[in-house]
Amino acid sequence: MTHPSSSFSTIRLKPKSNARAIRHGAPWVYDNELVMDRRTKSIPAGSIARLEDEERRFLALVAVNPNSRIVARVLDRDPDAQIDQAWFEARLTAALAHRETLFDQPFYRLVHAEADGLPGVVIDRFGDTAVVQPNAAWADVMIAPLCAALAKVAGLSTVVMNGTGRARSLEGLDEKTDIIMGEAPEPIAVSMNGATYMADIMGGQKTGLFYDQRPNHAFTQRLAKGKRVLDVFSHVGGFALASLSGGATQAVAVDSSASALALAEAGAAAMGASDRLIIRKGDAFDMMAALREEGELFDVVICDPPAFAPSKNTLEKGLRAYERVARMAAPLVKEGGYLGLCSCSHAADLEKFRSACNRGIGRAARSAQLIHTGFAGADHPLMPQLAESGYLKALFYRLMP
């Protein structure tokens, strides 16, 4: 699908909207910043349009979705750009060059949405397989040229579209998973920091594996050597398997998903570490309470829960949940041991998240040093104008004797 610029609709900022922010790189335009007349509201979701300021000066080519709070997403600042397969190939080639600079093996986040110039598009690569999440309407409409460009640029044999999750519902999009190219893959063995993870491309959460924690797994390995580790909200064994690879004597993985824990066990087996991994299936809070009743203490405890505060509306409730995690995890750490607390909620900024964790540790009657703050890896670049791209925070504490 090619979009010649002459055929584009035009949308316009309201007189008091901040056109300068768009000119300086802001990637989103909200419904309250635009003239939302009948003509604009009738533009089909996923269409490309010309964005102009109040004086009808061109600002950008944008993807439009009148059904979303984010009505316009900036695609290109060239008024003559053709949004077609060649355009996708140029964006993907730039994204690939950065990842190939970072990594020796083709296992990484290849596209991190707006920060890579592809708004709402997330692509994780697993060797010659990639999983595409088109989380914006325009990417859904243009999935064919996007995936054709992806296969060509990265030399892939399999491309899977994972159209699930909260972001799509906010765009008014249906949930669907589809094999765009190739065959449905079996779980794929992925090596990170010397650990082996099994990524379930078709049945797992999101794209099947969370690459964003790679640098925090590596930091945890330094704490875990010769130690006993508890990994709560373990998913497919994230911090547990990293710890075992780093020389932990034992890792206990807690998760509510039997299928995720089965993948953790498969990863441990592939590493030859089955004898050092213990799994406990159940609700994380229930399991932490049970471990405390059993008198269990660990040298290192890591908690990496799902997003408790995915939006501003859920922020206060989410912060209370993060505080509760810290309060329940801190008593499980030996004196002088380490506690890692993670958040993937973009609505909870670093300061709010840190305050919630500090309160929880204090309410557990423990005192702690904050020794390290971690973020997502360099394959998850931040867009300076978009706070949401810096969603992942990891706080590492040493609990004082």
Are the C-beta atoms of residues 33 and 22 closer than 8 Å to each other?
no
Q: For residue 172, name the pLDDT band (cuts at 50, 70, 90).
A: confident
Can you give the pLDDT at residue 6? 54
Active site residue 303: no
Instruction: Label residue 272 exposed, middle or buried (CB < 10 Å: 0-12, 13-18, 19+).
Output: exposed
Chain-centre distance for alpha carbon 280 = 25
Q: Which of 147, 342, 344, 357 is catalytic?
A: 344
- The per-residue pLDDT of the chain, averaged, comes to 94
Phi-psi region of 247 (alpha: psi -120 to 50; beta: other; left: phi over 0): left
- Residue 22 pLDDT exceeds 90: yes
pLDDT in tens, 100-150: 999 999 999 999 999 999 999 999 999 999 999 999 999 999 999 999 999
Residues 6+ away with beta carbon under 8 Å from 54: 12, 13, 14, 15, 17, 19
**Distance between CA atoms of residues 285 and 278, nearest Å:** 18
The model's confidence at residue 240, banded by pLDDT at 50, 70 and 90, is very high
pLDDT band at residue 388 under the 50/70/90 scheme: low
Place of tokens 């990842």: 99
DSSP reduced 3-state for 74: strand
What is the predicted pLDDT for the residue at 167? 85
Q: Render pLDDT for 175-191 as a digit per residue (tens, 0 to 9).
A: 889 999 999 889 999 99
Q: Is the pLDDT of residue 204 over 70?
A: no
In contact, 268 and 260? CB cutoff 8 Å: no
Residue showing tokens 């892939």 = 156
177-181's contacts with Cβ under 8 Å and 24+ in sequence apart are 177/202, 180/132, 180/143, 180/147, 181/147, 181/151, 181/156, 181/157
Structure tokens that stand for 259 in this block: 């299928």
Which residue, 196, 194, 198, 197, is CA-closest to 186? Answer: 198
Under 8 Å CB-to-CB from 378, ≥6 apart: which residues?
Answer: 98, 102
Angle at 53 between CA 47 and CA 59, to 5 degrees: 60
> DSSP state, 233?
S
Which whole number is the average pLDDT over 63-90?
Answer: 96
pLDDT above 90 (res 170) = no
C-alpha 82/C-alpha 77 separation (Å) is: 11
Q: What pLDDT score was predicted for residue 389?
A: 63
Cα dist from 330 to 238, 291, 326, 375, whole Å: 20, 12, 6, 21
Q: Would you state the pLDDT for residue 205?
A: 67
pLDDT per residue as tens digits for the range 241-278: 999 999 999 999 999 999 999 999 999 999 999 999 99
pLDDT band at residue 314 using 50, 70 and 90 as cut-offs = very high
CA separation for the pair 369, 88 (Å, rounded): 46
**Which has more pLDDT, 310 or 275?**
275
